Structure 1
Amino acid sequence: MPKLLLIEDNEMNRDMLSRRLQKRGYTLIVAEDGAIGLALTKSEAPDLVLMDMSLPVMDGWEATRQIKADDALKGIPIIALTAHATDSDRQKALAAGCDDFETKPVDFNRLLAKIEDLLKKMPRSA
């Protein structure tokens, strides 16, 4: 199954999403801030990143920009996870390099469909 990196500072959100995604068979790696998330993206090469945008140390906007600026990482799809639900927030996330956008509280079935769609569209070489 694909390996997902969940970058989320809220313990309750991290726990809920991790458990539900693991039940679906995904391998999960978790990070609590953007700097750790960026380092894990480089070392673990996940198939997809779920990026909270409001993170400590390095926010999700900057972590996304750095991932997408790296030739070795830029093909990894990133889904923004944020409580900021306006159209301008969506545009800002997409401009930073996110491939899709999901508002919090997360609609798990909708998020799962986005994950599956992006993984089908962006196959990665092993």
Structure 2
Amino acid sequence: MAKVLVVEDEEALSELLKYNLVKEGFTVAVASEGDEALVAVEEDAPDIIILDWMLPNVSGVEICRQLRARQQTKDIPIIMLTARGEEEDRVRGLEIGADDYMTKPFSMSELVARMRAVLRRTSPTVAGDVATFADISLDRETCRVRRGNRDVHLGPTEFRLLDVLIQRPGRVFSREQLLDRVWGHDVYVEIRTVDVHVGRLRKALNRRGEADPIRTVRSAGYALDETYAGGAAAKAS
């Protein structure tokens, strides 16, 4: 479940993008200005950014330049959208670090195809149908989870929760970030609900004697424990 940040000041297009990308299975956040986009990326880095060239205050070109200059954001894939169709503009967009470039008006199906192509190159765990972490595998197409040689039966919320965690092993997700990615912006859910569902996920994943792959970071959130991955690999060999 890749998270997309759409940076577009034209409200109608922004809403259209969000609607269609959510239908395609993405989690979508929206920003209408450059400063807002930079703050959004700093607070919760997306897996891919759809970035309009022409924005108020800070241009899309400048946003792209700033993101590429920062160590923590330099590898986030960026697809630029623009009304500029001249070759020199396309070249400039790619030279400043954009991964791809689409001229308005564009086909939504083509945009989605290009997004998935970029994600396959840059973040195969996010884009692929099957994600793995140590002895745990998650198949997005069949909604099936396995640990070792056994099936793990998860409810839809626990499946989405594991999908978020497995995309970035080792990264600590705050409860607020998990609420955003698993339940979405438009749904009100108590913050402690995250703890309840993490508990259910743990119970389903862990049989007696098995190491717990989920790490609780006090006052911070949850992560898949990278030390568990090493231990599981050692056992397998």
Question: Do they superpose with TM above 0.5?
Answer: yes
What amino acid is aligned across from residue 90 of structure 1 in structure 2? R
For residues 35 and 91 of structure 2, the distance between their equivalents in structure 1, rounded to whole angstroms, comes to: 23
1:82 corresponds to:
82
For residues 5 and 106 of structure 2, the distance between their equivalents in structure 1, rounded to whole angstroms, comes to: 16
Q: Cα distance, 1:18 vs. partner?
A: 0.6
For residues 81 and 41 of structure 1, the distance between their equivalents in structure 2, rounded to whole angstroms, comes to: 18
Q: SS of the counterpart of 2:72?
A: coil
For residues 66 and 47 of structure 2, the distance between their equivalents in structure 1, rounded to whole angstroms, comes to: 17
1:19 corresponds to:
19
For residues 85 and 49 of structure 1, the distance between their equivalents in structure 2, rounded to whole angstroms, comes to: 20
Q: How does 1:1-126 map to 2 (within 5 A)?
A: 1-123=1-123, 126=168
Q: SS of the counterpart of 2:56?
A: coil
Q: Flag as ranges the 4+ runs of structure 1 deviating above 2 A.
A: none
Q: SS of the counterpart of 2:113?
A: helix
Structure 2: gaps spanning 5 or more residues = 127-166, 169-237
Q: Cα distance, 1:87 vs. partner?
A: 0.9
Q: SS of the counterpart of 1:50?
A: strand
What amino acid is aligned across from residue 74 of structure 1 in structure 2? K
* Cα RMSD, aligned residues only: 1.1
For residues 107 and 96 of structure 2, the distance between their equivalents in structure 1, rounded to whole angstroms, comes to: 23
For residues 100 and 16 of structure 1, the distance between their equivalents in structure 2, rounded to whole angstroms, comes to: 20
Q: Cα distance, 1:106 vs. partner?
A: 2.0
Q: SS of the counterpart of 1:75?
A: coil
For residues 68 and 92 of structure 1, the distance between their equivalents in structure 2, rounded to whole angstroms, comes to: 14
For residues 13 and 61 of structure 1, the distance between their equivalents in structure 2, rounded to whole angstroms, comes to: 19
For residues 23 and 59 of structure 2, the distance between their equivalents in structure 1, rounded to whole angstroms, comes to: 28
Q: Cα distance, 1:91 vs. partner?
A: 0.6
Q: Cα distance, 1:105 vs. partner?
A: 1.0
Q: How many residues align?
A: 126
Q: SS of the counterpart of 1:110?
A: helix
| Larger gyration radius, structure 1 or structure 2 | 2
2:201 corresponds to:
none
**Relative CO higher for 1 or 2, CA cutoff 8 Å, sep ≥ 6?**
1
For residues 57 and 40 of structure 2, the distance between their equivalents in structure 1, rounded to whole angstroms, comes to: 15
Q: Cα distance, 1:107 vs. partner?
A: 1.2
For residues 69 and 86 of structure 1, the distance between their equivalents in structure 2, rounded to whole angstroms, comes to: 26
TM-score of the pair, normalised by structure 2:
0.52
Determine what percentage of the aligned residue pairs are the same residue: 37
- 1:40-61 Cα deviation digits (max 9, x unpaired): 1111110000000100010000
What amino acid is aligned across from residue 51 of structure 2 in structure 1? M
